[in-house]
Amino acid sequence: MSQLDAIVAGRLRDVRQRSQRLPLEVLRAAARRRPAPRDFARALRRGAPSVVAEFKRCSPSAGVIGDRDPAATARAYQLGGAAALSILTEPTWFRGGLDDLVMARNASGLPVLRKDFIVDEYQIWEAAEAGADAILLIVAVLTGDELAAFRSLAESLGMCAVVEVHDEDEARRALRAGATIVGINNRDLRSMRVDLSIALRVRRGLPESCTVVAESGYANAAELATCADAGIHAVLIGESLLRAQDPAAALAALRGVPA
């Protein structure tokens, strides 16, 4: 079993356990009382490129990154010019949770992406109830029918769906599922290797109408400028910001503006 398979299996177990404690029909009722969503899609087109700044405590590829406070980190990211936030909510491999998302959203005025391994509609209702403005759907772990159904459900609840791909075949699957926001992950989720040419290459096969987010591996302003030149609208950055002594200044520097 690959690491990705292990993560997915773990999320399926988690959903079964949580749904026993809080039945889906109760969660649905709570989710319909969610706060008014913030416009995640619009935020992605605010810059050249916009930055989606990520909060996480660790990852399988990077190990332990730190234990920053999600609220303070969200405020720093907003100060540094982030257009949106990405909050890791997977509990085992990334040590995250929906509480992190709630704290980060309450501490800033930025739209927030629930970044997780979504494998069941229960997680989409959870995201809505927690106030997420967008969710991540990973083509590598979902069928075509699941991608389309989950995207449609998210949008019906006022959230955007960022459909994540790693190659041209996955990009075609995302488009067939109706994706209008495509995240291109430079990291191969099975090998964990990062290649910054992936986003540039896959972007060329996507329609101009598609909003494109490049993910993983970015650490300097020149790399962001290359993305902008390639027609990429936003870049998701986490590790380099979280390891910085001053995340706000580090983000401003990546954007090429004074802190």
Backbone angles phi, psi at 140, to 5 degrees: -65, -15
With cut-offs at 50, 70 and 90, classify the pLDDT of residue 62. Answer: confident
Question: 3-state SS of 160-189?
Answer: EEEEEECCHHHHHHHHHCCCCEEEEECECC
Q: Are 184 and 212 in contact (CB under 8 A)?
A: yes
| Measured distance CA(134)–CA(107) in Å, rounded | 17
pLDDT band at residue 118 using 50, 70 and 90 as cut-offs: very high
pLDDT per position as a tens digit, 138-169: 999 999 999 999 999 999 999 999 999 999 99
Count helices and strands in the chain by DSSP H and E runs: 12, 10
Phi/psi of residue 125, nearest 5 degrees: -65, -40
Whether the per-residue pLDDT at 258 is higher than 80: the answer is: no
Residues catalogued as catalytic: 54, 56, 115, 164, 185, 215-216
Q: Tokens representing 9? A: 């299996």
Helix (H) or strand (E) holding 249: helix 247-254
Tens digits of per-residue pLDDT, 240-256?
999 999 999 999 999 98
Give the model confidence (pLDDT) of 169-201 as tens digits.
999 999 999 999 999 999 999 888 999 999 999
The reported pLDDT for the residue numbered 54 is 98
pLDDT band for 47, please (50, 70, 90 cuts).
confident
Query: Does position 57 have pLDDT exceeding 60, yes or no?
Result: yes
List domains and CATH numbers for the chain: 3-254 (3.20.20.70)
Residue 58: CB atoms within 10 Å: 17
% of the chain with per-residue pLDDT over 90: 91
pLDDT of residue 67: 84
Residue 25 burial (10 A CB sphere; 0-12, 13-18, 19+): exposed
What pLDDT is attached to residue 259?
54
Task: Give, for 236, the enclosing helix (H) or strand (E).
Answer: strand 234-237
pLDDT in tens, 25-40: 999 999 999 989 999 9
| pLDDT score for 256 | 85
